[in-house]
Amino acid sequence: MRGDDFVPKRIPEPMKEFEVRPDPDDPRLSVTVPGIDHEGRAVETAVVTERPLTLFLNAREIVTMMTIGDRPDLLAVGYLLNQNMLKGDDEITAVEYEEDISTVVVRTRRQTNFEDKLKKKIQTSGCAQGTVFGDLMEEFDKVALSPSAKVKTSWLYQLTKKINTAPSLYLKAGAIHGCVLAREDKPLLYMEDVGRHNAVDKIAGYMFLNGIAPEDKIFYTTGRLTSEMVIKTVKMRIPVLVSRSGFTAWGVELAKKAGLTLIGRARGKRFVALAGLERIVFDADLGQAEEEDRKHARKGSHADAMD
Amino acid sequence: MRGDDFVPKRIPEPMKEFEVRPDPDDPRLSVTVPGIDHEGRAVETAVVTERPLTLFLNAREIVTMMTIGDRPDLLAVGYLLNQNMLKGDDEITAVEYEEDISTVVVRTRRQTNFEDKLKKKIQTSGCAQGTVFGDLMEEFDKVALSPSAKVKTSWLYQLTKKINTAPSLYLKAGAIHGCVLAREDKPLLYMEDVGRHNAVDKIAGYMFLNGIAPEDKIFYTTGRLTSEMVIKTVKMRIPVLVSRSGFTAWGVELAKKAGLTLIGRARGKRFVALAGLERIVFDADLGQAEEEDRKHARKGSHADAMD
């Protein structure tokens, strides 16, 4: 996408179920590798690809990320947004992906506030990556999440079932994270990546470029509910965060501070909620709710998508 | 540790089994948080702590890490080593941890080569974090791993059993990664952290500060065998990398290139090896090898320690 061609496609809401979903048959995203098993027998194993991608904001080199490489444009924009390097009012004029040199450049009409800060910082005491964190926390304190948003337990059970059974690179090759943007019981955007933070950032990039409203959405992730995950979700203004994994103490503390509903260890009919409890509506008939079956439980593969 | 006090303790080899191991009873490392479960009942859940830690190399701010915070000194030194910011011949004069301001400063006798590069880089095109990657890959190409090292399947089965059943924060609270340095069937150093890369870096820091030889060691991790993990293991000169998780394609490619033995999906008696197959000795009696029992399998908690 270059210069004048850069007109983000606007997706009318409500989006349809699985508007974006994994494509496990894309030959660029996994390869079959020969090896041996525990008895010394020859086996062939599907493994997901992982590529370096160096991100530039205008003329400035920001970071080299390891990614599956399916949506460098969304990843680039989402990363910059979630790191506070790009603000909602920055106007993107181009996102240029150069596959042969593994780079993606996000261009803005004016120099961003972040570039300006980076310049000042470099003139004083060096690399500014460390200052990003302080900026993020400052903004975090000002966010107000939708107080009227609700999450029904019946939605949660439908959502996790649909996500676990949808064709995915996870089911094909394992060792990959998944993040899903959902509304009520409908998964809308399902992104996978070798890095969980990449899957989140791709959803953030998609939401920004397509003007998707966050207030009525639910964010689902396979990864742990760490401070990073909570900060990103709050930054995206999504009021409910759900994971099949566990919590960290600071993740819980930050979620309470921001009024984010934090639901973890969501597997089958079980879950634990540690913040924003007032949004949860217990409407599901637990007798009807299913335990996860073994095939889709991701159980046999704990940590298979760990980072 | 400051100035003249900085005399790393030398651990005589062979180290004893679990020379360093998790301390799940350390009150600083986990807290109990109230919440509700899927039926709306009040529950209390143990969650691991997670703290920001800002790392300085001499006067230069490098990065803010999220860590459980048990060994900031080892984490700081290991991070700098594994990022190639500190070389084997740099002389560390102090590692200063200031708990109240969450910073750790690693001081060296002379300015490091990295600081020198950073200075040049900043004068030209900005933040130098991105150049670290190129440096790492350049060094990677020159490494030769021990050709005589072996790994017996009987060791693997003993190792994973000992690791899975050792008291740990994982068994207490979940949502945490573990890395283990082992020799034959003996786990020597078992470090846990909210970030898998932190657990690896703490082991690298320990090995450097105590002069531990890498050639006869095995590295075990709960995380995926990504390019980052392979690069770090090769950088540490350890010839065998084992994980209970899966692979990425680039991780496998890099392992082949470096001659690293790469064993994944190691659970119970099963595993898959995709590189360095010539080091594997199939000596275990598979009839005797046990499948993982449910309590220690980490199975119920896939992704519980995902990053």
Predicted confidence (pLDDT) per residue in A289-307, tens digit: 777 765 555 533 333 333 3
Strand pairing category for B186-193 and B177-183:
antiparallel
For B116, half-sphere exposure in the C-beta direction (CA atoms, 13 angstrom radius) is: 6
Q: Please state the φ and ψ torsions of residue B34, each to the nearest 5 degrees.
A: -80, 150
How far apart are the C-alpha atoms of A72 and A76, rounded to whole Å? 6
Q: What is the pLDDT of residues B3-45, one digit of tens each?
A: 445 655 666 677 899 999 999 999 999 999 999 999 999 999 9
pLDDT at A286 over 90: no
For A164-178, A222-236, B24-38, B286-300, which range has the lowest pLDDT when averaged over its residues?
Answer: B286-300
pTM of the model: 0.89
Average pLDDT for residues A193-218, to the nearest whole number? 95
Residue B195 burial (C-beta neighbours within 10 Å; 0-12, 13-18, 19+): buried
For B99-112, the pLDDT digits (tens) are 999 999 999 998 88
pLDDT at A164: 94
- Say if the Cβ atoms of A127 and B128 lie within 8 Å: yes
Surface of A (90-129) touching B: CB under 8 A: 118, 122, 125-129
Sign of CA dihedral A81, B80, B117, A99: negative
Alpha helices, H only, chain B: 72-82, 113-124, 129-140, 153-165, 169-173, 196-210, 227-235, 249-258
Lowest mean pLDDT among A162-166, B133-137, B159-163, B200-204: B133-137
Q: What are phi and psi of A47, to 5 degrees?
A: -130, 145
Q: Is B232 on the interface with A (CB under 8 A)?
A: no
Interface residue B138 vs chain A (CB under 8 A) = no
Per residue in A80-104, pLDDT (tens digit) is: 999 888 988 899 999 999 999 999 9
Most A CBs within 10 Å: which of B37, B44, B47, as the mutation test of the A interface?
B47
Among A175, A249, A305, select the one facing B47 at the smallest CB separation. A249
The 10s digit of each residue's pLDDT in B250-264 is 999 999 999 999 999
At residue A224, does pLDDT exceed 90? yes
* pLDDT at position A294: 57
Q: Name chain A contacts of B122, Cβ cutoff 8 Å.
A: 122, 126-127
Residue A269 and residue B38: Cβ atoms within 8 Å? yes
DSSP labels for B195-262? SHHHHHHHHHHHHHHHT---TT-EEEESS-B-HHHHHHHHHTT-SEEEESS-BBHHHHHHHHHHT-EE
Asked if A302's CB is within 8 angstroms of B299's CB, the reply is yes
pLDDT digits (tens, 9 = 90+) for A164-187: 999 999 999 999 999 999 999 999
The residue among B304 and A144 whose pLDDT is bigger is: A144
pLDDT at B233: 96
Q: Answer yes or no: is pLDDT of B122 > 90.
A: no
pLDDT band at A21 (very low <50, low <70, confident <90, very high): very high
Per-residue burial over A284-307, b if 16 or more Cβ lie within 10 Å, else e, is: beeeebeebeeeebbbebbbbbbb
- Residue B64 scores a pLDDT above 80: yes
Give the tokens for residue B95: 């590692």
What distance lies between CA A244 and its chain's CA centroid? 14
Give how far Cα B44 sits from Cα of A1, A156, A274, B67, Å: 50, 21, 9, 23
Q: What is the mean pLDDT of residues A273-277?
A: 98
